Amino acid sequence: TSIGTEVGCRGPDCKLFGVVLLALTFIGAEIASLGVGAAHVHQCPIEEKIPVFLVVSGPLWLLGGLTGVRRARDDVTCCWSYSCGRYNIPVILIVAAWFITGNAWVYPVYTTVDTVNATQPSYCQPTLYYFAFCYVTIKWIMAVMAAMALPFVMTTMSLPFTIQSPGGRRGYANF
């Protein structure tokens, strides 16, 4: 090949790089959520549950993401798969319920929150509130984008999803 024709990223190394980059971004956002919430506890009188929401959300999202990741047990699937088993479904439901609860704490005070005067009862520390607002909003954007991409991904890629039957038997279904 001539110089300059090899453009783009192809092959398993590129996919691995993308997955690692996405995972590090995801993990970083959840650790930041924990850190911002913990650093600003009791600094949001307008809604004192916002720091609690952030402190609990970080580890919950990490737990929800990690409970379904399994190492493949055979040579049919490459590396890792995501299991829809009996252990991660309750965690995912708890994460979803906590996320909706956080929405109920973050969004309603948007028009009345004061990020300047700390003596006001409507005060909320600016970094805390704006991080929480962006955190929740970005999660909604990601959910919508994932829902829009799902039909494309399911029809064009052969992704190994582990299906675990109630009897404990495992099988792989390529969607």
What tens digit of pLDDT does each residue of 12-40 get?
666 777 778 888 888 999 999 999 999 99
Q: Are 36 and 58 in contact (CB under 8 A)?
A: no
Residue 160 pLDDT greater than 90, yes or no? no
pLDDT digits (tens, 9 = 90+) for 72-113: 555 554 555 555 566 677 888 888 999 999 999 999 999 999
Give me the half-sphere count of Cα atoms (radius 13 Å) on the Cβ side of residue 85.
19
- The predicted structure's pLDDT at residue 28: 92
Alpha helices in the chain (DSSP H): 12-39, 49-66, 88-106, 126-156
Confidence category of residue 122, pLDDT binned at 50, 70, 90: very high
pLDDT digits (tens, 9 = 90+) for 47-70: 999 999 999 999 988 887 777 665
- The predicted structure's pLDDT at residue 175: 45
Instruction: Report d(CA 145, CA 60) in Å as an integer.
Output: 21
Instruction: Report d(CA 153, CA 161) in Å as an integer.
Output: 13
- The predicted structure's pLDDT at residue 18: 75
Pairing mode of beta strands 160-164, 170-174: antiparallel
- The predicted structure's pLDDT at residue 147: 87
